[in-house]
């Protein structure tokens, strides 16, 4: 791979560590303390509490007294439903992360080619971010992918002479189409904005120079855009990965019915939510153990993804 | 940059088709809100609403039994306060984490990123018990304070400041400005794009929040608009027009804020991109 | 980025391990001492009033007028200041979270009464003495669900039941009679259905959630053995019932999606289906829409040892053990749900259709005095079944997962119910311990 045309100004960071003065330390703590204090009280303290619960039989209580050691963990690892759900959503992450990444970057690049009405198109792609998952899922399940005859998708199918489909019913796998399209609609706009910000930081002169050298659009993208976009790409793919494993809202709002959540397309978090919160069930021990396992899986896959992304990258 | 003509035409065609798909759900919310139940569940699909002049909208909005208007007020207070506090707290933390590299800052950065990996559900019940024990049930404190410490926002700001040109700060320091003054006068104005992005996302998250306000707002006068609207969305006694009217009322304020902030956001993005 | 993602992740990984260690050393997950902040409702010993303050929670009833009625009754109670919290959504979640905290309600209702785990965790008070001699007034099968080891933990408010609505006019036109078996129902669904109307609807999950237990009961199969030590449903009679239902599910007369779920009679009212499994609570709306053109039935029998069945249950009032005024809370429950029979009758008559929890009030229950309402009440007497206390939510989840897999994915019934039965037996042994 050709070395990047501009080196990142690394000098600043080396300097700051060495010459950090006493007054700077004071400033550091002044700036960071409000956030740190909040993080400790409202994230880490509850997290420790949850961790403790995961070693107890904690049904309908947050102050349990029956210690079960790793019992909750072994229960879940032997639970076919939990393991199936983990496996399904590892596959889901492998699929949805590159897809969302490509769609968001694609939209950002598309907008770069557009001069007239650019603000309109940008708004159109970004606007869905403002809609709540509850409302968006309502539109999808009741209007677009309604299995009844008055659903939009089924109206289109029958007008083409095809049989209507029971989209979310679970006898087929069409529910993935509904779930993925909903997820993309809600999420790509935000990542697109992050990419636009990243793209705007690339010096336009670089493209002009490359054009003069006769580089086509494809080469310009791989030799200039993609390498220079790397900080944004890394941040986006990391957030996407965390997001994929923590999938919850679009699934829950789309598939939960009066009869409960069906056994298919059940993300680990939905399964654990039902255990620790669901209709009448409140098993905080197993619920906490499950979220700890999930966190561990996310950690492992972050390492793997990090490995994958650093192959061939300039270090 | 000069582009080939057919390529540009194609870009417009693709963008237009995509825009139709992206905007269609908004139209559907509107159509459903201004139709009658019979119209919506009739065997044929209808593109146009049949009750545009209907009274569902004003009924839902003004019925004191539903209490939507006061709930809109509560939601506005919560969302604005939460957004301002989140942005300020994370802006400062994100700046500190990129500006000063000490062992402490590395640990705090690690804690921030780790927080992103932990599903929020883990902390949900213990946090609720804590807040309840503090006596914060049915208060603005309870609705706002536990949710303003955003690892996500801090992480985004920190990423933004990594790219920040140090020369600007240095010249301000030479002019005798303190770190505090430099931060607010030089650094923040140059990060407005990210401020707008984080502010938008936080506002929308706060506006659309459901489970936390549902648990905290036990007193009806503290209910947010999403909690109040949930009564139209429960599965028993579904009436499509009311439900989507509720959805429309809940969505429009977020869209307005969003379009307003977006102008600012785009300017900010363009400016921080100039270098 | 100057700090690479690798070091960043290494750091956070190390941190995770550190926090894990720290956690094991100290915190046992105990709540800090309750504060006496002024906003805390429990600490509301207002000396000037002299009356105890009670918080009472209800879920949001779909029927108009319930909220006003329960608030009016709370205001009428002379013994305490009762404030009603009308929870708009996710009642069970909101309540179960609140029950963990110092701001738990003093009195609350729960569908079918508290769960066994709520009783075992000591979250609800024993109301046996509050009930006293009135115990004989209540329908025994309704009271049984809220009784554990001969102690009563909740007072039934009003009885709800589910039944099959069907369009008599359409059935007559096609020469069909009221289906008494699942085979007859399948035949009827496919005969009556045409392009304009569907045959049978039981929810947008294909009826899996609401009919699961009914398929078992209608086939003459029981959830568990008499001693409540083992699952008893894993039998060939159940497999046959499931394959019978799958035949209906896969047939063209089955309506798998409609404008509302089974708990709302709209699909039946809108003419989307000729038969719908629904709740008796919607009876007034159905009568208004279809007049004499419809009737009601119990769920049909399945197989040789089968029987018709209807499920019933009662929202029941509980007293929280965390209440600062347990005695006052018990007195309030006694006043409202045991002594005030005028209010209990009103609760059954004025909103939707319900059956009083006390047989002696039946003559005053106008909605179930004649017509389909009377048939429905008779079904409860003749064919009524209710959820067993020992059939825990975890058991229910395991069972309905098996039902869904068999009906929707065509999974092997013996394998699915075998593993569900294992889970249920483990659950029964857990709650026995």
Report how far apart, in Å, the C-alpha atoms of B262 and of each of A118, A258, B196, C185 are.
Answer: 13, 39, 7, 58
Instruction: For the beta carbon of residue A268, count every other beta carbon within 10 angstroms.
Output: 27
The reported pTM is 0.86
Q: Residues 115 to 174 of A: which have CB under 8 A from any B CB?
A: 119-136, 138-140, 142-144, 148-152, 155
B58 has pLDDT over 90: no
Q: What pLDDT shows up at residue B267?
A: 64
- Rounded to whole angstroms, how far apart are CA atoms A203 and A8? 13
Q: What is the CATH T-level fold of the domain A76-310, as seen in this structure?
A: MetI-like fold (1.10.3720)
Q: What pLDDT shows up at residue A188?
A: 96
C308: left (phi over 0), alpha (psi -120 to 50) or beta: beta
Q: What is the mean pLDDT of chain A?
A: 86
Q: How many Å lie between the alpha carbon of B164 and the closest alpha carbon of chain C?
A: 12
Q: What pLDDT shows up at residue C259?
A: 84
Q: What pLDDT shows up at residue C35?
A: 35
Segments of chain A with pLDDT less than 50: 1-18, 20, 312, 314-315
> What's the pLDDT tens digit per position in C2-41?
333 333 333 333 333 333 333 333 333 333 333 333 333 4
Beta strands in A224-271 (DSSP E): none
> What's the pLDDT tens digit per position in B85-109?
999 999 999 999 998 888 999 999 9
Assigned token pair, C162: 């589910």
Report how far apart, in Å, the C-alpha atoms of A117 and of each of A113, A127, A248, B128 are.
Answer: 11, 15, 35, 47
Tell the burial category of C49 from Cβ atoms under 10 Å away from its Cβ (0-12, 13-18, 19+). Answer: exposed
Q: What pLDDT shows up at residue C24?
A: 36
> From the list A45, A114, A291, which residue is nearest B119 (CB)?
A291
Phi, psi of C330 (to 5 degrees): -65, -40
**Which chain A residue lies closest to C211 (C-alpha atoms)?**
A259
Q: Mutating which of C20, C397, C403 best tests the A interface, going by the most A Cβ atoms within 10 A?
A: C397
Q: Which residues contact C431 (CB under 8 A, 6 or more apart)?
A: C116, C117, C120, C390, C392
Q: What pLDDT shows up at residue A21?
A: 63
Sign of CA dihedral B227, B232, B237, B240: negative
Rounded average pLDDT over B58-83:
89
The CATH code of domain C161-311+388-432 reads 3.40.190.10
Q: What is the mean pLDDT of chain C?
A: 87
Q: Mutating which of B3, B11, B14, B15 best tests the A interface, going by the most A Cβ atoms within 10 A?
A: B15
Q: Which residues contact C78 (CB under 8 A, 6 or more apart)?
A: none
* Helix, strand and coil percent figures for chain B, each rounded to 5: 75, 0, 25
> What's the pLDDT tens digit per position in B185-227?
888 888 887 888 888 889 999 999 988 998 899 888 899 998 8
> What's the pLDDT tens digit per position in A30-49?
999 999 999 999 999 999 99
Residue extents of the structural domains in chain A? 76-310
B273 has pLDDT over 80: no
Assigned token pair, A256: 């939960």
Q: What pLDDT shows up at residue C344?
A: 94
Segments of chain C with pLDDT less than 50: 1-48
Q: B8 falls in which pLDDT band (50, 70, 90)?
A: confident
Instruction: For the beta carbon of residue A66, count every other beta carbon within 10 angstroms.
Output: 11
Cβ(C237)–Cβ(C425) below 8 Å: no
- Rounded to whole angstroms, how far apart are CA atoms B72 and B223? 9
Rounded average pLDDT over B166-178:
82
Q: Which residues contact A233 (CB under 8 A, 6 or more apart)?
A: A101, A105, A198, A226, A309
When mean pLDDT is compared across A260-274, B24-38, B230-244, C51-65, the lowest value belongs to B230-244
Is 3.40.190.10 the CATH number for C51-159+312-383? yes
What angle do helix axes B192-208 and B68-99 make, rounded to 10 degrees? 140
Total length of chain A: 315
| Interior/surface letters A205-221, b for 16+ CB within 10 angstroms, e for the rest | ebbeebeeeebeeeebe
Q: How many Å lie between the alpha carbon of A173 and the closest alpha carbon of chain C?
A: 10
- Rounded to whole angstroms, how far apart are CA atoms C281 and C64? 12
Q: What is the CATH T-level fold of the domain B54-274, as seen in this structure?
A: MetI-like fold (1.10.3720)
Phi, psi of C113 (to 5 degrees): 90, 170
Q: Residues 219 to 248 of C: which have CB under 8 A from any B CB?
A: none
Assigned token pair, C427: 């659950």
Q: What pLDDT shows up at residue B233?
A: 64
Cβ(B33)–Cβ(B50) below 8 Å: no
- Give me the total of CB pairs closer than 8 Å, taking one residue from chain A and one from chain B: 259
Higher pLDDT, A292 or B167: A292
Instruction: For the beta carbon of residue C382, count every other beta carbon within 10 angstroms.
Output: 12
Residues of B in contact with A204 (CB under 8 A): 1
- Rounded to whole angstroms, how far apart are CA atoms A257 and A261? 6
Residue extents of the structural domains in chain B? 54-274
Q: B231 falls in which pLDDT band (50, 70, 90)?
A: confident
Q: What pLDDT shows up at residue B163?
A: 73
DSSP annotation of A142 reads: I
Q: What pLDDT shows up at residue C367?
A: 85
| Interior/surface letters C205-236, b for 16+ CB within 10 angstroms, e for the rest | bbbbbbbbbbbbbbbbbebbeeebeebbbbbe
């Amino acid at each position: 791979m050709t070395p990047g045309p501009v080196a990142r100004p690394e000098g600043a960071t080396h300097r700051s560590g060495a010459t950090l003065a006493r007054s700077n330390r004071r400033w550091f703590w002044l700036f960071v303390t409000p956030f740190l204090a909040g993080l400790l009280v409202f994230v880490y303290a509850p997290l420790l509490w949850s961790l403790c619960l995961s070693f107890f039989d904690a049904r309908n209580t947050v102050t349990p007294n029956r210690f079960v050691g790793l019992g909750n963990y072994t229960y879940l690892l032997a639970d076919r439903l939990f393991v199936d759900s983990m496996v399904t959503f590892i596959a889901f992450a492998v699929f949805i992360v590159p897809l969302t990444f490509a769609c968001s970057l694609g939209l950002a690049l598309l907008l770069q080619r557009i001069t007239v009405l650019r603000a309109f198109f940008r708004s159109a792609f970004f606007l869905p971010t403002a809609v709540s998952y509850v409302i968006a899922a309502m539109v999808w399940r009741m209007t677009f992918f309604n299995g009844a005859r008055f659903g939009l998708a089924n109206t289109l199918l029958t007008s083409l002479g095809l049989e209507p489909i029971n989209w979310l019913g679970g006898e087929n796998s069409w529910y993935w189409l509904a779930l993925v399209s909903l997820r993309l609609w809600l999420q790509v706009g935000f990542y697109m904005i992050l990419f636009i910000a990243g793209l705007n930081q690339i010096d336009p002169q670089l493209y002009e120079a490359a054009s003069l050298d006769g580089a086509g659009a494809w080469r310009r993208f791989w030799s200039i855009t993609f390498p220079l976009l790397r900080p944004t790409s890394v941040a986006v793919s990391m957030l996407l990965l965390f997001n994929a494993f923590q999938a919850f809202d679009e699934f829950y709002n789309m598939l939960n019915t009066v009869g409960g959540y069906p056994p298919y397309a059940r993300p680990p978090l939905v399964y654990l939510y039902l255990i620790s919160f669901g209709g009448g069930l409140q098993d905080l021990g197993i619920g906490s153990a499950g979220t700890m396992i999930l966190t561990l899986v996310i950690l492992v896959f972050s390492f793997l993804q990090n490995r994958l992304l650093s192959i061939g990258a300039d270090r | 940059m000069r582009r080939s003509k057919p390529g540009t035409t194609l870009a417009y065609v693709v963008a237009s088709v995509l825009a139709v798909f992206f905007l269609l759900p908004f139209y559907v919310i509107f159509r459903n809100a201004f139709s009658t139940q019979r119209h919506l569940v009739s065997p044929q699909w209808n593109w146009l609403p049949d009750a545009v002049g209907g009274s569902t909208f004003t009924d839902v909005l003004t019925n004191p039994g539903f209490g939507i208007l006061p709930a809109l007020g509560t939601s506005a207070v919560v969302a604005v306060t939460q957004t301002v506090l989140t942005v300020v707290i994370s802006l400062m933390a994100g700046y500190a984490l990129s500006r000063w590299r000490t062992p402490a800052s590395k640990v705090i950065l690690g804690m921030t990123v780790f927080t992103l990996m932990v599903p929020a559900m883990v902390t949900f019940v213990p946090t609720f018990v804590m807040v309840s024990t503090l006596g914060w049930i049915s208060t603005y404190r309870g609705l706002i304070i536990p949710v303003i410490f955003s690892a996500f926002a801090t992480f985004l700001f920190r990423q933004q400041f990594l790219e920040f040109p140090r020369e600007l700060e240095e010249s301000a320091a030479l002019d005798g400005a303190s770190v505090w003054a430099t931060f607010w006068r030089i650094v923040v104005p140059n990060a407005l794009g990210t401020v707008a992005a984080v502010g938008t996302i936080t506002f929308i998250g706060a506006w659309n929040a459901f489970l936390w306000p549902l648990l905290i707002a036990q007193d009806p006068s503290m209910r947010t608009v999403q909690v109040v609207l949930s009564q139209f969305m429960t599965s028993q006694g579904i009436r499509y027009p009311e439900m989507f009217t509720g959805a429309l009322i809940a969505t429009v304020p977020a869209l307005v804020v969003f379009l307003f902030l977006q102008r600012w956001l785009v300017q900010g993005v363009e400016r921080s991109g100039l270098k | 980025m100057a700090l690479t993602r690798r070091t960043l992740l290494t750091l956070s990984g190390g941190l995770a391990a550190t926090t894990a260690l720290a956690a094991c050393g100290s915190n046992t997950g105990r709540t800090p001492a309750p504060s006496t902040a002024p906003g805390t409702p429990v600490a509301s010993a207002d000396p000037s009033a002299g009356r105890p303050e009670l918080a009472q929670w209800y879920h949001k009833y779909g029927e108009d007028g319930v909220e006003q009625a329960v608030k009016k009754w709370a205001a009428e109670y002379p013994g305490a200041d009762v404030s009603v919290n009308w929870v708009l959504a996710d009642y069970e979640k909101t309540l179960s979270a609140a029950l963990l905290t110092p701001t738990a309600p003093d009195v609350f209702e729960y569908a079918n009464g508290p769960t066994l785990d709520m009783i075992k965790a000591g979250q609800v008070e024993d109301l046996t003495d509050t009930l006293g001699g009135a115990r004989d007034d209540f329908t025994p099968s309704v009271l049984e669900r809220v009784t554990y080891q001969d102690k009563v933990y909740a007072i039934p408010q009003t009885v709800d039941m589910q039944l099959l609505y069907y369009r008599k006019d359409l059935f007559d036109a096609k020469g069909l009679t009221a289906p008494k078996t699942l085979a007859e129902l399948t035949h009827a669904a496919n005969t009556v259905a045409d392009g304009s109307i569907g045959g049978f609807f039981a929810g947008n999950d294909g009826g899996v959630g609401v009919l699961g237990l009914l398929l078992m009961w209608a086939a003459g199969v029981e959830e568990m053995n008499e001693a409540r030590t083992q699952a008893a449903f894993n039998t060939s009679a159940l497999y046959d019932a499931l394959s019978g239902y799958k035949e209906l599910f896969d047939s063209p007369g089955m309506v798998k999606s409609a404008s509302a779920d089974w708990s709302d009679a709209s699909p039946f009212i809108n003419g989307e289906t000729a038969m719908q499994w629904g709740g008796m609570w919607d009876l007034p709306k159905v009568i208004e829409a279809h007049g004499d053109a419809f009737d009601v039935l119990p769920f049909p029998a399945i197989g040789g040892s089968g029987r018709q069945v209807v499920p019933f249950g009662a929202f029941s009032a509980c007293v929280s053990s965390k209440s600062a005024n347990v005695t006052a809370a018990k007195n309030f429950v006694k006043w409202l749900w045991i002594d005030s029979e005028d209010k209990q009758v009103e609760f059954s008559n004025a909103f939707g259709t319900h059956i009083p929890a006390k047989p002696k009030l039946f003559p005053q229950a106008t909605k179930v005095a004649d017509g389909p309402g009377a048939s429905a009440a008779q079904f409860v007497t003749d064919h009524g079944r209710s959820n067993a206390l020992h059939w825990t939510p975890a058991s229910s989840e395991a069972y309905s997962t098996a039902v869904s897999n068999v009906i929707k994915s065509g999974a092997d019934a013996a394998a699915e119910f075998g593993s569900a039965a294992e889970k249920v037996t483990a659950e029964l042994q857990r709650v026995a311990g």
